[in-house]
Amino acid sequence: MSLLDYFKTKKAPTTAITAKERLQIIVAHQRGERDAPDYFPAMKQEIIEVIRKYVQIDTDQVSVQLDQNDDKLSVLELNVTLPEK
């Protein structure tokens, strides 16, 4: 680190950079859902409803992903953030 680097002002991220990062996240999320079967959204909603029978959670606290390998093997991954007692 040079002495001149110390005096340079660090710029805050611009709105364009923030918007670009958010758009990249949305596109990546939609690409993951593109290969999902037709029944996947309904199945995800039913899983959330079953969890809600036992624990109060928000929809954004549940992440459901379907990964498919080349060997015709599908893996359903479910991540739930449970509230503390």
pLDDT of 51-80, one tens digit each?
A: 889 888 888 888 888 777 777 787 888 888
Q: Residue 42 — pLDDT band, cuts 50, 70, 90?
A: confident
pLDDT of 4-38, one tens digit each?
A: 666 666 666 678 888 888 888 877 766 666 666 67
**Any idea which residue has 């949305």 for tokens?**
26
| Residue 63, φ and ψ in degrees, nearest 5 | -120, 120
pLDDT, residue 71, reads 74
Instruction: Classify residue 77 by its DSSP letter.
Output: E
**pTM (two decimals):** 0.49
